[in-house]
Amino acid sequence: QVQVVESGGGLVQPGGSLRLSCAASGRIFSINAMGWYRQAPGKQRELVATISTGGSTNYADTVKGRFTISRDNTKNTVYLQMNSLKPEDTAVYYCKADGMEIMYTRFSSWGQGTQVTVSS
């Protein structure tokens, strides 16, 4: 099995910054992509940013220019640097990893989520 664990959430004032980390571990042969999603109370879960193993990135329009996704393939870890945070960024942030396990089994694993609260 592949396990995904997020960390780095917390309380920050508007305009502040946070850096989220997501580490995938287990019987991993390869990872095709990892991404960050968020879900605010009463709202649908939405894509924030994704990154492929090759480095291709995709961002939601609402975070472009403020958030940066990056990865360390040697550690199966993805990061989300969040700058100029706004109250509307408040949500539970989830990490997702997609790839192939050892023995040719596909996986798509979600982390448990980490709370990000932006408030003065």
Could you give the angle at the alpha carbon of 39 between the alpha carbons of 92 and 36, nearest 5°? 75
Number of residues written out for the chain: 120
Q: How confident is the model at residue 30 (pLDDT cuts 50, 70, 90)?
A: very high
Listed residue (8, 4, 42) closest to 23, CA to CA = 4
- What tokens were used for 90? 């408040």
**Mean pLDDT, rounded, for 49-65:** 95
The H-or-E segment that residue 10 falls in is strand 10-12
80-114 residue pLDDT tens: 999 999 999 999 999 999 999 998 899 999 999 99
pLDDT of residue 1: 86
Strands 28-39 and 91-101: antiparallel
- Position with higher pLDDT, 109 vs 53: 109
How many Å apart are CA 6 and CA 118, to the nearest integer? 18
Going by the DSSP 8-state scheme, the letter that residue 102 receives in this structure is T
pLDDT of residue 53: 84
11-22 residue pLDDT tens: 999 999 999 999
pLDDT of residue 109: 96
pLDDT of residue 12: 98
